Structure 1
């Protein structure tokens, strides 16, 4: 299995195996500012084209935020897919209309709103192209290939139900602009709590893709589900809330991947996180990998730059490759 994490702050993970199976987990950002000024940053659709990928067996949308959803729209306009998996009931979005927050909304709210509108447009694209959209919830396990399974460990039912209730209300006809903006603000603040936590297993190689699902909402995750995870895509871009000692110590981690811009905005790729992980695993050093760093001593060094990092997982173990 090949696990490729594309460049920059947003999440975009490409899963491939030697038999031709290809799936995408999230699609990164569509903001021009994310890709200007660095020759190695690349949009999801451009990377797929560079790899001559024109069809995906599956697309997973972990949750609704700009840096996870918005890059997928261009992907699905140019690349065919067999199925799209989402964490929300599809009926919530039937008849959904474009939304606009009031001008005085917090800075992140327009970005969230664009992601929500893009999510709805993606559902329309799926309908137009006959792509089935299926809802996954915690406890579900799906077979991707004969060798690869995906297990959904989160979100928790309580947070998901609260989020869905807000979505249902925001699409009601009689809602005021003030109420819609208030709900968009709450949806933005709670969307991470609805993020899918995906465990991808192929033999002894186990990836936990946490998207933005942080350990403080993993109370319903069976501890046994973590005890063979050797690759972790850190939650929430390596911000301070992305690790928990008890949860992390359950995992025999070898590699920890962080999707974070090199400016380390919002305290992402936070040094405290890697110091803690180093302290918690003194007997076996973890290899830290970053999607948008060249030098981050003492954790990482790749001065030549790269467009995507690849973890090649097979019976011989895990090898890291950097794609220019």
Structure 2
């Protein structure tokens, strides 16, 4: 008898997929594409709305405990290459910018995880996609009291900005145009519009749109926070000239994601921040934050954080101006781009 056994083979019968299964697969693929790319527009539901219909949101999202009275949180949400800054103070909430469109569902979930159900103020610093991409989803999923925008009357409003304004109208959210000195009460703090943008020499360019940025300062007790959106050198110079002794702030959001076309030495000298945070995406195409800006922070001895390496950065401040910093992750030096 041979020591080798004959290998047995099992016969499997294969059937061609029925036509209905092919049609169903195609329809499911089309539905996923439509929801992902057009969710929240017209009759197309967003993922967040679908989750709520099946009972998954927001009840299953773990939320943080309410802030003690007098504390302020400034949360630099990790939205990739874009801006979204949440200010929480004494039960009130303000969101400055809403990141790019592809981060909108994570943004909604992140806001809920911080206990946000209502936004006293939603701010559009300027109409670039990496700042307004998630605003439509925010308007659809939260009770927004006011939407603040720069002056868009001379701007060709299209795309995501147009859809944001349309959604605000559909949701009955008042839209206000910013002006110098305008103030909003956020809890026991105050958000002030220092500058509602400036006229740029390069009309119609990205620089001109960046220089439409609202420059905002939040103050609660002795804690202050400055956000200049994507303001370029031109607007930073106008800001420094108009407020030569009033820009000093505890925390500063690096202008234009840490670009060397912003964050001028003159502005930093006037702001004298203890902490600077750059909101940017890992290995982004722009090289943000730029090496020159990082070096300037180091030379000035300023603590510097960046969302591409640290994830969401949460600053918890007391009325006396003292603060602590928490990050979602610790940076892996091997991942750090050569900015």
Task: Report the TM-score, using the length of structure 2 for normalisation.
Answer: 0.68
Deviation at 1:55, TM superposition (A): 1.3
Check if 1:236 corresponds to 2:307.
Answer: no
Q: How many residues align?
A: 254
Corresponding position of 1:102: none
Is the Cα contact below 8 Å between 1:228 and 1:251 reproduced in 2? yes
Is the Cα contact below 8 Å between 2:181 and 2:192 reproduced in 1? yes
| Structure whose alpha-carbon radius of gyration is higher | 2
Look up the SS of the partner of 1:276 in the other structure.
helix
Q: In 2, distance between residues paired with 1:187 and 1:227?
A: 28
With over 3 angstroms needed to count, the CA separation of the structure-2 counterparts of 1:264 and 1:81, relative to structure 1, is same
Q: In 2, distance between residues paired with 1:233 and 1:81?
A: 23
Is the Cα contact below 8 Å between 1:154 and 1:218 reproduced in 2? no
1:223 aligned residue (243, 246, 256)? 243
Look up the SS of the partner of 1:241 in the other structure.
coil
Q: In 2, distance between residues paired with 1:265 and 1:244?
A: 22
Say what the alpha-carbon RMSD is for the aligned residues.
Answer: 2.5
Q: How does 1:47-196 map to 2 (within 5 A)?
A: 47-89=110-152, 116-137=158-179, 139-145=180-186, 147-159=188-200, 186-196=204-214
Look up the SS of the partner of 1:158 in the other structure.
coil
1:320 aligned residue (311, 325, 338)? 325
Which string of whole-angstrom CA distances, capped at 9 and with x for unpartnered residues, describes residues 203-251 of structure 1?
2111111110123323332233544212110111111112212221112
Which string of whole-angstrom CA distances, capped at 9 and with x for unpartnered residues, describes residues 170-197 of structure 1?
xxxxxxxxxxxxxxxx354521011111
With over 3 angstroms needed to count, the CA separation of the structure-2 counterparts of 1:217 and 1:287, relative to structure 1, is same
Check if 1:291 corresponds to 2:307.
Answer: yes
Q: Which has the higher contact order (CA 8 A, sep 6+)?
A: 1
1:207 aligned residue (225, 246, 249)? 225
Unaligned runs of 5+ in 1: 36-41, 97-112, 164-185, 295-305
Unaligned runs of 5+ in 2: 1-71, 330-339
Look up the SS of the partner of 2:95 in the other structure.
strand
Look up the SS of the partner of 1:14 in the other structure.
strand
Q: How does 1:256-275 map to 2 (within 5 A)?
A: 256-275=276-295
Is the Cα contact below 8 Å between 1:231 and 1:256 reproduced in 2? yes
Is the Cα contact below 8 Å between 2:150 and 2:178 reproduced in 1? yes
Task: Report the TM-score, using the length of structure 1 for normalisation.
Answer: 0.71
Q: In 2, distance between residues paired with 1:187 and 1:240?
A: 18
With over 3 angstroms needed to count, the CA separation of the structure-2 counterparts of 1:188 and 1:251, relative to structure 1, is closer
